[in-house]
Structure 1
Amino acid sequence: MKQKPNLNRALLTLALCLGGLSATAQNQKVSINVKNATLEQVFKSIERQTSYRFSFMNKTIDSKADITYNGSNTTVQMC
């Protein structure tokens, strides 16, 4: 199914755009450098670097390792 990679990209975009409940949460920065990673691996990377926590059901996200992203010192901000 071709829509799964698009769903992963949409979820990753959502993850990077999440706003926090406080001003300090909105200014958190992350560096993500992954090649052929799963969305779960990307979420774990963000969790290690911030106070954000992700909750999802494994059956709702694609487990295919097809995400490549390189970004350093990227601000997580509210969209």
Structure 2
Amino acid sequence: MNIIQHLIKLKRKSTNFCVTNLLLVLSFIFLTTIPANAQTGNVNLKLKNVTLPRLFREIEKQSTYRFSYRDADLAGKALVTVSVKERSLESVLTDILSKRHLQYQISGNKILITVSSMQTPKSTEKKEVSGVVVDERGEPVIGVNISEKERPMELLRI
């Protein structure tokens, strides 16, 4: 009887040991996958006419990422309107930042925002513009400078 009781105790200890190990392994797997999902996950955003820093704060609330940028790099950038559900963070950032001549770089849980080093290639397509510039009385004006809205620093002298 003594041997049987001893075997029953060993069996209980080994079962407890297996259950404990299984719980530890499952806990480890669960805890290590949570940050991975947060890092590579999707974002849900519905923002209208907000600044880039406000957009970054909203993304920080939904992820483990933290943004780093220079205020001067974001100054004067167009406001953001975005409405996305379950869209990848990388896709959202690429769409929004590229339109504002900005880029991002991810390192660990940091996202660095910088001015884009790639300049948009100038159009080599020639455009013909015709018309007459007149003053308030309707008389033609000579020596007028005009520019395109998209490129206000490039003047054409007429």
- SS state at 2:55 partner: helix
Cα 1:63/1:45, change in 2 over 3 Å: farther
1:34 to 47, 51, 70: 47
- When normalised by structure 2's length, the TM-score is 0.31
Q: Which residue of 2 aligns with 1:49?
A: 62
Q: Superposition pairs for residues 1-79 of structure 1, below 5 Å? A: 23-24=36-37, 25-26=39-40, 28-62=41-75, 66-77=79-90
**Structure 2: segments with no counterpart, 5+ residues:** 1-34, 95-158
Q: Over alpha carbons, which structure has the higher Rg? A: 2
Task: Give how far 1:49 is off.
Answer: 0.3
| Count of matched residue pairs | 57
Counterpart amino acid of residue 63 in structure 2: T
RMSD between aligned residues: 2.5
Q: Which runs of 4+ in 1 moved over 2 A?
A: 62-65, 75-79
Query: Contact 1:39 / 1:62 at 8 angstroms: preserved in 2?
Result: no
Relative contact order, CA 8 A, sep 6+: which one is greater? 1
**Structure 1: segments with no counterpart, 5+ residues:** 1-21
* Identical residues among aligned pairs (%): 30
